[in-house]
Amino acid sequence: MNSHSVKWGKLRAALMARLRPGRGAELEASKLRQLDEYVSGMPCAQNAIDTLPGWNHALPEAVGVTAGAGFFFHDGRILWALEQFGSIEGKAVLEIGPLEASHTYMLEQRQPALLHAVEANRLSFLRCLVVKELLGLKVARFFLGDGQAWLQGSGQRYDFILACGVLYHMWEPVRLLELMAARTDSIFLWTHYASETAMPPGDLRRGAFIGAMEVEDHHGVSVRLYRRSYHGAWQDKSFCGGIHDRHRWIERDDILALLRALGFDDLRIASDEPDHANGPAFSVFARRTQCPMSAEAAA
């Protein structure tokens, strides 16, 4: 046997081994192993939802998906805010902290000319984009980053700014109020607030507070601020707090006094819940009816 036929004999044996019964299918299966970032099968809305972890909100039933538990597409706080403002048709609206775009959808349904939504959390921002696609939002534009920096840097004026669930996540909540006041004459806030009467020392809801109350003077108001920490809650993918672990709550009446000092002469309050499980909370609609442009000076 010459060396040529030995070589071919080995090659043939190797090929036969690979082609033993069942081996071909194994090879095919390994070639077809689905790669990590791919989705096989029929495209569907649930695939898009399952791509991102941490969903807080459910989507409308018609979309036919399972996402988070909370349903916020008819949120009474936003309905109340819209009732106070009046029609937003053709208006420029800013939403800070859209989370998963439920409120953004409510706003878009009312046909604003411009709808900006600024979200600081990467996963939330991406979840908003998924909702935008699944619900076919056309006007809303989502931006990833700090709403406070947006107010300071974008130069855009809005007819209405909504910050639902945002103020109490800020390290500098007074600055957020000032910046909103510099960009609009109408603000809606839903926020937790501190209160020595509704939440006196010893109240379990003060558990996240750190250290003593601080007082800062702003616009002639002595603002009482209370430091808090999330105590690690931010590690959860569905976390929906602020950019920094440290954040400060303002005393209820100081929020109102600040808004007045910033020129908002029409203040309306709803859903005041001093007993809210997570800490006292209320909705505030603030409108500047006198000297609308004077707030530019506040920025």
Ligand X SMILES: C[S@@+](CC[C@H](N)C(=O)[O-])C[C@H]1O[C@@H](n2cnc3c(N)ncnc32)[C@H](O)[C@@H]1O
Spell out the residues 6+ positions from residue 148 whose beta carbon is closer than 8 angstroms to its own.
170, 172, 175, 176, 179
Nearer to ligand X, 103 or 224 (CB): 103
Show contacts of 172-177: CB within 8 Å, 24+ apart. Answer: 172/148, 172/248, 173/225, 173/247, 173/248, 173/249, 173/250, 174/216, 174/218, 174/223, 174/250, 174/258, 175/148, 176/147, 176/148, 176/151, 177/255, 177/258, 177/259, 177/262
Query: Among residues 82, 142, 148, 167, which is the contact residue for ligand X, using CB under 6 A?
Result: 148
Query: Among residues 108, 119, 178, 185, which is the contact residue for ligand X, using CB under 6 A?
Result: 119
Residue 243 binds ligand X, judged by CB under 6 A? yes
Query: Among residues 112, 165, 263, 279, which is the contact residue for ligand X, using CB under 6 A?
Result: 165
Query: Among residues 88, 93, 97, 180, which is the contact residue for ligand X, using CB under 6 A?
Result: 97
> Least Å distance between CB 23 and ligand X?
52
Q: Which of 140, 115, 113 is nearest to 129 (CA)?
A: 140
Binding window for ligand X (CB under 6 A); candidates: 85-93, 118-126, 179-187, 208-216: 118-126
CA dihedral 116, 159, 255, 280 (to 10 degrees): -60
Q: Which of residues 167-206 bind ligand X (CB under 6 A)?
A: 169
> Least Å distance between CB 169 and ligand X?
5
> Least Å distance between CB 104 and ligand X?
9
Nearer to ligand X, 72 or 193 (CB): 72
The residue type found at 158 is: Y
**Which residues of this protein are in contact with ligand X, per CB under 6 A?**
72, 96-99, 103, 118-121, 124, 146-148, 164-166, 169, 240, 242-243
